[in-house]
Amino acid sequence: MNVMTSPVANPLLKDKGLEIVLSDGQPHYFNYYWLRDNCPSSFSSATRERGFDIFHLDAAPVAASAEVAGDALELTWTGEDHVTRFPLAWLETYAAPGPRHDPADLPREAWYGDHYPQVPRFSQPELVADPAVRAKWIEALLVEGFAIVTDMPDSDAGLTETAELIGQVRPTFFGDYFDVKTHINPTNTAYTASALELHTDTPAEEHAPGVQFLHCRANTVDGGYSLYADGVAVANAFRERDPEGFRLLSEIAVPFFCEHDTYDMRSRQTVIELDQHGEVSGLTISQHMLDLLDLDQALLDDWYPAFCRFGKMLQEEKYMMTFLMKAGECMVFDNHRIVHGRAAYTAESGDRYLRGCYTDRAEMRSTYRALVSEGRFKA
C-alpha cells in the first residue's frame, strides 16, 4: 500500500493537542491553544490582525472532534459553538518549528577594495517611479550593504524623498538630519577638515540607526576622498585568521560614549555583531567614541590586542574602497555593516557639503518584503 496516496487518517485527539498524519506520512503534533488562536476566523481581513482574544476563553481549549474533510482539517471545540477549518496545506507550513520564510533574509555577499566600478547604482527618478527598481535597490543593500543613488535632486527635499522610499527618516539624538561641512566650533570630528577614520555612526545610541544616506551636494575641495569597507568581508576574514580575537570582539560588549554640554549618550555594543544564524551582520566601531573601557584590566590584556589586530585589518588596502563623491550622488549603506571614513581635505580649496539622514534596517526589510512577496493577507 502506498502511504502517500492513501486518504489522510483522522487526527488522534490527545489531552493538550492532536496528532495528524500529513503528506510526508509522519504524525505531527499541534497544540490546542495554537489551533484555536490561529483559527482562520480569528483574523480580520480588514485590519489583518488577530481579532480573537484567547485571554477571554473560560477554559483551556480542547477539541471535541476532529476530522479530515477533503483537503482540510475540521475541528469542533468543547464548551464553544465554533467550527475551525484549516487547509491541510496551510498546516503543513507550520508542522516544523522555526521562523517562517523571510524573503528579506538574504545571504550577504562580501566585497573588497576594488569594488567601486561594480557598486550597484540607481537613478533617483527611476527609484521614485518604479517599485521594481526600488526592490532591486533594497536587495543590493541587503546583500552588499552599499549602493549609490545617482541623479539626486539638489535639494533637502530630495534626500527626504529618497530615504522615505525605504522607511521613515529615523532621528538620532542630534536631530532628523545632519550636515557635514566644516564648522567654526565643531562638536564632532566629521565637522572638521581632518581625516575621519573608519567608523560606524552613532555607536553610543542603544540602537544605532541601521541605514545611512549621505547626499553629496558639493565636493570641489582638494582631497576629502571617501573611504568605505565592508565590515562583513573583514570580520569573516578575521574569524578565519584569528578565531580567538573574533570570539573576544563578538562576545564582549564594550562601552561607547558621545558627550558634550547638553548630552551624555552611552551604550554597550560588541565590536562584531552576529545575526540569528551566527553569521557576521555588522560592526560597531568608532575610535573617537569608544569609551574608556571598564572591563577587568586583565581581560584587556587579550581584548585590546585583538581589537588592534582587527582595526589594522580594517585599514588593509585589500578591503578599502576609495573614491571621490560627486555632487548629485547619494551613498546609501548599512550603518552597522559598512564602515566609512574620509581622507583629510583643504577647507579653503572649495566647497564640500554632505547632508545625511538615516532610516532603520527593520523598516528596510519590511519595505522589501512588501515589494517582493504576496504576504498572507493581500487580496
Could you give the C-alpha distances from 237 to 99, 119, 213, 233, 319, in angstroms and in order?
29, 21, 27, 6, 10
> Which grid cell sits at 81?
459553538
- Asked whether 127 and 165 are in contact (CB, 8 A), the reply is yes
Q: Which is nearer to Fe ion, 209 or 328 (CB)?
A: 209
What is the per-residue binding string for Fe ion in 124-153, x denoting contact by CB under 5 A?
Answer: ------------------------------
CB of 286 to Fe ion, least distance (A): 9
Q: Which is nearer to Fe ion, 256 or 368 (CB)?
A: 256
Angle between helices 297-314 and 231-241 (to 10 degrees): 120
CB of 87 to Fe ion, least distance (A): 50
Q: Which is nearer to Fe ion, 63 or 314 (CB)?
A: 314
Q: How many residues bind Fe ion (CB under 5 A)?
A: 1
Considering only 165-173, 198-206, 218-226, 271-279, which stretch makes contact with Fe ion by CB under 5 A?
Answer: 198-206
Q: Which is nearer to Fe ion, 197 or 201 (CB)?
A: 201
CB of 49 to Fe ion, least distance (A): 38
Q: Which amino acid is at 360?
A: D
Q: Return the residue matching grid coordinates 520564510.
A: 101
Could you give the C-alpha distances from 362 to 112, 131, 158, 214, 334, in angstroms and in order?
26, 19, 23, 19, 11
Considering only 31-39, 194-202, 275-283, 288-296, which stretch makes contact with Fe ion by CB under 5 A?
Answer: 194-202
CB of 96 to Fe ion, least distance (A): 43
> Which grid cell sits at 121?
547604482
Q: Which is nearer to Fe ion, 123 or 322 (CB)?
A: 322
Under rule CB under 5 A, residue 334 binds Fe ion: no
Please select the residue that binds Fe ion; options are 139, 197, 201, 360, rule is CB under 5 A.
201
Considering only 56-64, 193-201, 241-249, 313-321, which stretch makes contact with Fe ion by CB under 5 A?
Answer: 193-201
Q: Which residue number places its CB atom closest to Fe ion?
A: 201
Considering only 65-73, 150-158, 196-204, 244-252, which stretch makes contact with Fe ion by CB under 5 A?
Answer: 196-204
Name beta bridge partners: 216: 354
CB of 340 to Fe ion, least distance (A): 6
CB of 213 to Fe ion, least distance (A): 12
Per CB under 5 A, contacts with Fe ion among 241-300 are: none
Considering only 56-64, 114-122, 200-208, 279-287, which stretch makes contact with Fe ion by CB under 5 A?
Answer: 200-208
Helix %, strand %, coil % for the chain, to 5?
Answer: 30, 30, 40
Return the SS3 of 281: strand
- Asked whether 74 and 66 are in contact (CB, 8 A), the reply is yes
Could you report how far apart the first and last alpha carbons of the chain are, in Å? 41
Quick count: other Cβ atoms within 10 Å of Cβ 41? 11
- 346 alpha-carbon distance from chain centroid: 36
Concatenated DSSP letters for 167-197? S----BTTBS-EEES--SS-SSGGGSSS-EE
CB of 212 to Fe ion, least distance (A): 7
Q: Which residues bind Fe ion (CB under 5 A)?
A: 201
